[in-house]
Amino acid sequence: MKPRIDGTRFGSITVAGSVYEHDVIIRPDGQVKKRKKKLSKAVYGTSHTISLQEVTYVYERASGADRLIVGSGQYGNVELSPEAAAYLKRRSCSVVVRPTPKAIAVWNKTKRDAVGLFHVTC
């Protein structure tokens, strides 16, 4: 079951009453996991561009999700690399990228199978 995201502030996100002080991935089965930022940092030197390697890791563990919701940070500084976007398009996985506070609203309204990736700082 998809957990509700209660809110976010700079440096944290609250999911189903639990506060996480790091970026998270929320899988369609409700599991909340720490984001593997090093997969993107190894390619781009930053976690603000989501690499093909990271999006592949997220998608392959998403158990059939047909939507990726990206919380791009409090100020919207995170983006998908062109390769990551193309990978998801080939798999017919729609993508929503919004600043994290707005992405939370999208997540909470989504009825379909989705995976979420939420950046909690900039």
Domain layout of the chain by residue ranges: 5-119
Q: What secondary structure letter does DSSP report for 49?
A: E
* Segment-wise mean pLDDT, segments of 10 residues, the chain, 122 residues: 94 98 96 97 97 97 92 98 97 97 97 94 94
- Indicate the pTM of the whole model: 0.96
Dist CA 14 CA 21 (whole Å): 9
Residue 57, pLDDT score:
97
Q: What secondary structure letter does DSSP report for 21?
A: S
Residue 63, pLDDT score:
81
Cβ atoms within 10 Å, residue 15: 21
Confirm if 17 and 6 have CB atoms less than 8 A apart.
Answer: yes
Residue 112, pLDDT score:
83
CATH homologous superfamily, domain 5-119: MTH938-like (3.40.1230.10)
Dist CA 52 CA 65 (whole Å): 17
